[in-house]
Structure 1
Amino acid sequence: MKKYLDILADIERKISEGQFESGQKLPSVRNAAKMYGCSVSTVTRAYTELESRHMIYSISQSGYYVVEKPGKGPDAAEGWQIDFASASPDPSLFPYLDFRHALNQALDTYKSHLFTCGEAEGLKRLRHTLVSHFAEDQVFAQKERIIVSAGANQALEILAKMPFPNGKSIILVEQPSYDLFLRYLEAEGIPVCGISRTTAGIDLQQLEEKFKHGGIKFFYTMSRYHSPLGTSFSREERKAIARLAGKYDVYVVEDDYMADLGEEPGTDPIYAYSGMSHVIYLKSFSKIIFPGLRLGAAVLPEKLMKAFCEYKRYADTSQLSQAALEVYIKSGMYERHKRKIRSQYADRIRELNKAVLRHNGSGLIDIPPVSSGLYVPFKLPKKANLERLVERLAAKKILVVSSKRFYLSDYREQEKFLRISIARAQPERIEEGVREIIGEVSRELKCLV
């Protein structure tokens, strides 16, 4: 399976980058088998799969040829030269044909069952498939502990409102953190407090004090590829957080929304060290497939199952979408697409890092080394006017996001940075964008002198 996926990913990449142009003949099956060091049947399977996705076509007695290369996607005409703001996946990377195939197969397999209300916990076969899917990330759970949700946001809202067995009420959030969840907590008047997290990590002594004396119901964290910081906790930090949770009867809600996009080895989630009693593991599929799918899953400790299901009450996620996702994962298409999109984003991060080395030699902006994921924070000098800088960059058609939105409204220890996302930044424009950002920061500081 791995060799087959590698061949698919390699040929797709070469088509996308123009190494194989429209109408160009691909290597013969035998030559490709020699080139990839595999059997003829493995290459034939890869070519057949590419043909089913309308990327190549075959001519009898001649071979396989590349179809017309798809365009850059709908955002190409929006007029923005460089988009460092969007967190949504690049539309040019959406697996349209793959997922259409999965939808058709789901309809053929499940038939009328897809048009019933279904179970509140989610489609049983999808939950069964997620058992092995999660195990690849060292999240070992029985299907009875997996609940399918309408994205991670729905699970977060339920967890924020439902009672917990520890009898506590305050939600502890990292600062900065996921902006939509922060705004939800504030709008609903849910008790919340913050703890500082930087690119260097988190103060574990302060965290222990919060756990011990703060009346903390749960601690919301993104242990891997944090948004907006882009960094991950060290193994020691993850182990310590799991230990503290058990010691002080505080639950940890681990939002692992970027699990599939990282390339760093040895970055198991907190859940892997927890003994499963105090960690709730959340995962969304929108960052890999497309935002409109709105499917996620929660792995819950046994003590929380009853209350969570009572608050969820009924099936509120499309049976068809769930069935298609089950087919998509089980067939290997998810793994293949994950490799493709992870490779694309890793290339963009490398381009960003090279541009930083080239243009930030004086260290005007504090930029951490980030090698995976989507986000890199550009920490600014304290004197810089953050909002004015964002506006000046927008006037140059460079979109960035201010750090202000990622903090609680009353949190005073805010760092000043630009959140840079590479999700939709075209590689050939990244260096120009970085150069312009650093130039504008320099001009901003000169104006203040």
Structure 2
Amino acid sequence: MSKIYDIYFKEDIPKYIEIANHLKQLIDSKKIKDGEKLPTIRELSSNLEVNKVTIVNAYKKLQTDGYAYQKVGSGTYAKRKESISSFNREYSKIFKNLSSDDFEKIIDFTGETNSDVYFPMDDFKNVINKVLDRDGANALIIKESLGYENLRKTINNSFWENKIDLNNILIVSGAQQGIDIAAKAIVNINDNVIVEKPTYGGAISVFKWRRANIFEVELEKDGINLIAFEEILKKNNIRCFYTMSYFHNPTGISYSLEKKLKLLELANKYDFYIIEDDYLSELIYSEDIRHEPLKSLDKYERVIYIKSFSKVFLPGIRLGYMITPSSFTESIQRSKINTDIATSSLMQRALELYISEGFWKKNIEYQKNIYKEKYLLMKELINRELGDNVNYIDPLGGLYINLEIKNKDITSKELFYKLKEKNLYITPGVIFFRDSISGEEFFRISFSQASKEKIIKGIELIKEELK
């Protein structure tokens, strides 16, 4: 630890940058170990004979650049940058290199591939033909920056009982673009944001790209830990909170009504915005869960709502929509236009007709029936075959189940490599955490792309490795 204090300052470089760069070199060279706690602000400022604000700024820069993370009430910890990203790159590369023939041979429990889509193609073909017959070349030429107006009207009518100002509905190319647009509109360099721990890696990437300071808060069975959440709010000026309110990725949990209402109260009290990624809420399998997004309860105009159609429409057709608070409508629209000007006109028109003519509702029921059967089968097998080896929270919907390994002698990454040799692919929990020392005991398994026969075989293979 003495090497930390071995630094000489130059007059032309701000001290906080020199301190941050010095610590980065020590982390990269492994002289400071991955996950090692860094000195307190008081200790480092005393030893380096600089004021505490300089150390605070140095630690903020380390976090922004991905070299440190903060544990509330505990301190700041080193993070070797490659420790997460190298595995994430390797994990991603594995799937990119799989061919369509490979997918026939493997058992895919990742839910990240589209080898088997439950979608009535005849209905979709008829819708496309109707759009082309009705609109002709306009279906391909005309572009509206906010999105096809009739689609926005149909979304408002079909999903929101016409309660939303049409100007606040914006068509986007999927949830990822929606998160990016929202972040560009409201998050600036060194702004503070809160995410759930764990959370969707794509959201973390967006906030890192915006060079925001990211705070993580643990999840409970019915949503985020509100006590820890408010402690951060009291001590920091938070700009936004990103959440998946239904079938959270990867844990599968859904927020209780009580926590939703409390979150909205906190957003109003502490003046921050909520980016709500309404993920897979069409796939509810239990009467214990009611579809009531934060946006539907939002009397304070604090929620930026994002909904993707990709999981339940054709995944290859990137479509979704956002609902924005009136105060942010203009800046979010500018962010959208600066991103890609307009989303596919033909696909928007096809989706509008697909919803308005009743195909959407019929297809959702069709998919729910298929996925519910798989969900019940996978849950039964986990309880019967893996009960001694894993813990889990029953998601009651969605497309996957998140498992916690009881036996700490094996990590989820090690399990991933062992199962890969047997042509079974799972998602290790480390994918969903900012730091490299979290998530090793978790792995996510999805039933969306596997047949019932493959689900049975896959659970048997997991059982063999966990015994």
- TM-score bucket (shorter structure): 0.7 to 0.9
**% identical equivalent positions:** 29
- Residues 50-449 of structure 1 aligned to structure 2 (within 5 Å): 78-88=103-113, 91-135=116-160, 140-163=163-186, 169-199=191-221, 201-264=223-286, 265-275=289-299, 277-313=301-337, 315-362=341-388, 364-381=389-406, 382-409=408-435, 413-414=438-439, 416-442=441-467
Q: Do the aligned partners of 2:254 and 2:395 also contact (CA within 8 Å) in 1?
A: no
Bigger CA drift: 191-200 or 376-385?
191-200
Q: Do the aligned partners of 2:109 and 2:445 also contact (CA within 8 Å) in 1?
A: yes
Q: Do the aligned partners of 2:419 and 2:462 also contact (CA within 8 Å) in 1?
A: yes
Secondary structure at the counterpart of residue 111 of structure 2: coil
How far residue 171 of structure 1 moved from its aligned partner, in angstroms, is 2.0
- Change in Cα spacing, 1:130 to 1:205, as seen in structure 2 (3 Å) is same
Secondary structure at the counterpart of residue 417 of structure 2: helix
Q: Do the aligned partners of 2:247 and 2:398 also contact (CA within 8 Å) in 1?
A: yes
Q: Do the aligned partners of 1:80 and 1:398 also contact (CA within 8 Å) in 2?
A: no
* 1:116-153 alpha-carbon deviations (Å, 9 max, x no partner): 342211111110001022227xx941222100011111
How far residue 94 of structure 1 moved from its aligned partner, in angstroms, is 2.7
How far residue 385 of structure 1 moved from its aligned partner, in angstroms, is 2.6
- Change in Cα spacing, 1:341 to 1:276, as seen in structure 2 (3 Å) is farther
Q: TM-score, normalised by structure 1?
A: 0.76
How far residue 77 of structure 1 moved from its aligned partner, in angstroms, is 6.0
Secondary structure at the counterpart of residue 387 of structure 1: helix
Secondary structure at the counterpart of residue 178 of structure 2: helix
Give the Cα–Cα distance (whole angstroms) in 1 for the partners of residues 101 and 466 of structure 2: 27
Secondary structure at the counterpart of residue 392 of structure 2: coil
Aligned residue pairs: how many?
Answer: 364
Secondary structure at the counterpart of residue 196 of structure 1: strand
Give the Cα–Cα distance (whole angstroms) in 2 for the partners of residues 437 and 289 of structure 1: 31
How far residue 413 of structure 1 moved from its aligned partner, in angstroms, is 4.9
- Change in Cα spacing, 1:131 to 1:388, as seen in structure 2 (3 Å) is same
Unaligned 5+ segments in structure 1 are: 1-73, 443-449
Q: Considering only aligned residues, what root-mean-square deviation do their CA atoms show, in Å?
A: 2.3
Unaligned 5+ segments in structure 2 are: 1-98
